[in-house]
Amino acid sequence: MQWVGGRDGLYLDFFAGSGTTAQAVLEQNAEDGGNRRFILVQLPEPCPRDSVAAQNGCRTIFDICKERVRRVIARLRDEREPHAALNLGYRVFRLDDGADGSARRNGQQRTACEVK
């Protein structure tokens, strides 16, 4: 993160999985005061019913990612200095079917997560 994109880089991860990229960006910003942002894209691929993730309420891989981002942000808020100005917000977008149905492939709705 330090070498590519600099302190104001935008990182795009089309295979977000569990949210490793988001965690790395958030932690690097906390470490050096950067203003890096990220965009994560993940299909709502179902978690196996007998998985630990499913047992903890995550129905999809995207649910795992969203929960990880939420927990990292909560931890960084608790750890930061009171005067530190970190951007720890994020938005989740769920893409609905357009008029042409292009946002849905094979019955799966696309979702994306972007830091503010």
**3-state SS of the chain?**
CCCCCHHHCEEEECCCCCCHHHHHHHHHHHHHCCCCEEEEEECCCECCCCCHHHHCCCCEHHHHHHHHHHHHHHHHHHHCCCCCCCCCCEEEEECCCCCCCCCEECCEECEEEEEC
Q: State how far the Cα of 94 lies from the Cα of 72, in Å rounded to an integer.
A: 21
Asked if pLDDT for residue 84 goes beyond 80, the answer is no
Residue partners of 108: CB distance under 8 A and separation at least 6: 43, 44, 45
Amino acid at 38: F
Return the pLDDT at 90. 84
Residue 62's Cβ-count burial label (10 Å; 0-12, 13-18, 19+) is buried
pLDDT in tens, 27-55: 999 999 899 999 999 888 999 999 999 99
Asked if pLDDT for residue 66 goes beyond 60, the answer is yes
Question: 4 versus 88: which is more confidently predicted?
Answer: 88
Return the pLDDT at 116. 44
